[in-house]
Amino acid sequence: MTAPQILKVASAQYPIGQPDSLAEWEDKISTWVAAGAATGAELLVFPEYAAIEQAACFGPDVYNDLTTTLERVAHLADERVAFHANLAAKHGVHILVGSGPAKTADGRFVNSAQLVTPTGAVGVQDKLIMTPFEHGWGVTAGAPLRVFDTALGKLAVLICYDSEFPLLARAAVEAGADAILVPSCTERISGYWRVRTGSQARALENTIVTVQSPTVGDAPWSPAVDFNVGAAGIYVPPEHGVSDTGVLAEGTLNKAEWVYAAVNLASLRQLRTSGEMRNFGDWPAQPGAEPLKKTVEMVTLS
């Protein structure tokens, strides 16, 4: 596809609530997507484990038990993605669906996010590196790392903890990624800052844009997403003429809102060979640096 010049993106600071029914949940998502599209964004990013909110619809017998929560929410995955795909078509936007459990053919749970296009194409990215919490929940690592070739550019997804590992991002960028989407779910301010620091570092190292989308608010009914702290952010390298701080946009901590920016992808590509610093090009100067593109699967979403 032709490389686009501008990426208009909105990142959700999404509040985990307690819907009484799937219809109520659908109304909430529809309202959020409409508000996100109203910013002018072509890409809407929802956070990690936002899908867990659906467990509330089935009462305490489901949402009080973590394994039952994972089973029920995983069972809804196809229906949830189809619902977002219809909204993507209605509003003419790409949507990174809030991630949630999916069940593999061998019976394992993985944490999966789906990228849907206005034409109904769907790309899936599993989380690759599990946190200690997820190990305790029985959620396992998925594969492979993918780059999605879309009408908006080449997009990669590093779910929360994955953003803290530089070789994952580097592999995606060597495969052509223009942007890395970072859906996150953190219960403490320290966790939010870890993911934010990772997101900003990946933008600096690779001369790209990274987009962090967190869950916010308290959901004491859920053993999985009970406390949620964070702020959305859209990050680029700190470079003269692009951004002095590397922060194109950021939200108010823990506020339910969309955060929007128009990102000049053409300018970022040019910076790789003409910026104040040349982090992307100088990566191979590190001892032990190797080409990583071969570890990535390219998926075209037309």
233-235 and 227-228 as β-strands: parallel, antiparallel, unpaired? Answer: unpaired
Q: What is the pLDDT of residue 273?
A: 87
Neighbours of 89 (CB within 10 A): 14
Strand residues in the chain grouped as ranges (E): 6-15, 43-45, 94-96, 100-103, 109-116, 122-126, 139-140, 145-150, 153-157, 179-184, 209-218, 227-228, 233-235, 247-250, 257-264, 296-300
Angle at 120 between CA 16 and CA 51, to 5 degrees: 15
pLDDT score of 53 more than 90: yes
Helix, strand, coil shares, percent, the chain, to 5: 35, 30, 35
Q: What is the mean pLDDT of residues 287-298?
A: 83
Closest CA to 90 of 148, 157, 33, 8: 33
Q: Residue 33: how many CA atoms within 13 Å on its side-chain side?
A: 24
Q: What is the pLDDT of residue 3?
A: 77
Q: What is the identity of the amino acid at 116?
A: V
Q: What is the mean pLDDT of residues 267-286?
A: 90
Question: What is each CA distance from 269 to 113, 136, 153, 240, 281, in whole angstroms?
Answer: 27, 41, 12, 15, 11
1 domain-assigned:
no
pLDDT score of 157 more than 80: yes
pLDDT score of 1 more than 70: no
pLDDT score of 222 more than 70: yes
Q: What is the mean pLDDT of residues 244-267?
A: 97
CB-based contacts of 89: which residues, under 8 Å, 6+ apart? Answer: 118, 119, 120
Question: What is each CA distance from 183 to 62, 194, 244, 282, 296, in whole angstroms?
Answer: 25, 13, 24, 28, 19
CATH number, domain containing residue 52:
3.60.110.10
179-184 and 247-250 as β-strands: parallel, antiparallel, unpaired? Answer: unpaired
Q: What is the mean pLDDT of residues 230-254?
A: 96
Share of the chain above pLDDT 90, in %: 92
Q: What is the mean pLDDT of residues 125-129?
A: 98
Q: What is the pLDDT of residue 250?
A: 98
Share of the chain above pLDDT 70, in %: 99
Q: What is the mean pLDDT of residues 23-32?
A: 98
Rounded CA-CA distance 29/97 in Å is: 10
145-150 and 296-300 as β-strands: parallel, antiparallel, unpaired? Answer: parallel
248 domain-assigned:
yes
CB-based contacts of 55: which residues, under 8 Å, 6+ apart? Answer: 62, 63, 69, 72, 73, 222
Identify any residues that bridge with 249 across adjacent strands, giving them in sequence order: 234
Number of domains in the chain: 1
Domain span holding position 154: 6-300
Whether the link from the prior residue into 223 is cis, omega within 30° of 0, is no
Q: What is the mean pLDDT of residues 10-28?
A: 98
pLDDT score of 232 more than 70: yes
Q: What is the pLDDT of residue 4?
A: 80
Q: What is the mean pLDDT of residues 33-51?
A: 98
Rounded CA-CA distance 48/135 in Å is: 16
- If pLDDT is split at 50, 70 and 90, which confidence band does 276 have? confident
pLDDT score of 28 more than 80: yes
Identify any residues that bridge with 35 across adjacent strands, giving them in sequence order: none
pLDDT score of 240 more than 90: no
Residue listed under structure tokens 């004491």:
220
Q: What is the pLDDT of residue 289?
A: 84
37 domain-assigned:
yes
Q: What is the mean pLDDT of residues 144-149?
A: 97
Higher pLDDT, 287 or 211: 211
pLDDT score of 249 more than 80: yes
Q: What is the pLDDT of residue 248?
A: 98
pLDDT score of 241 more than 90: no
63 domain-assigned:
yes
Q: What is the mean pLDDT of residues 264-270?
A: 93
Rounded CA-CA distance 7/176 in Å is: 15
Rounded CA-CA distance 33/181 in Å is: 17
